[in-house]
């Protein structure tokens, strides 16, 4: 997925320049969420996991990586006051980092609470 994201960043940036970053962020967010939607719709069945695999590859088209979505960072740069951009980008990177650090722990707590 991340190799595909590396090659998708350039064309996605050009699309953002052409149609606007807000529309591009909406598209990237939808594509990035596809694997979750597939699992919600089909569950952990053989078909659901096969579709999840395909959706995970397609989500690479969003250009996202472990550090977040460059499209979202471009939108922050576009809609924020120039004096606030550094602080807002810092908060965005911190949020992504906290998600990766605390997401697994939260998942374990949820599984234990559900009795699995």
Is pLDDT above 90 for 14?
A: no
Q: What is the pLDDT of residue 110?
A: 85
What digits encode the pLDDT tens for the residues 23-73? Answer: 877 787 777 778 888 887 888 888 888 888 888 887 776 666 666 677 778
Strand, helix or coil at 94?
Answer: helix
Is pLDDT above 90 for 4?
A: no
What digits encode the pLDDT tens for the residues 73-114? Answer: 888 888 889 999 999 999 988 888 888 888 888 888 988 888
Q: What is the pLDDT of residue 88?
A: 92
Torsion of CA 103, 79, 27, 58, to 10 degrees: -50
Strand, helix or coil at 68?
Answer: strand
52: Cα separation from own chain's centroid: 15
């Amino acid at each position: 997925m991340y190799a595909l994201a590396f090659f998708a960043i350039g064309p996605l940036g050009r699309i953002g320049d052409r149609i606007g970053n807000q529309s591009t962020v909406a598209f990237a967010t939808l594509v990035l969420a596809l694997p979750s939607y597939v699992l919600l719709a089909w569950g952990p069945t053989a078909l659901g996991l096969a579709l999840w695999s395909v959706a995970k590859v397609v989500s690479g088209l969003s250009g996202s990586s472990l550090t977040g979505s460059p499209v979202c960072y471009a939108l922050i740069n576009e809609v924020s006051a120039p004096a606030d951009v550094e602080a807002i980008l810092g908060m965005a990177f911190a949020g992504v980092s906290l998600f990766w650090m605390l997401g697994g722990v939260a998942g374990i707590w949820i599984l234990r609470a559900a009795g699995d």
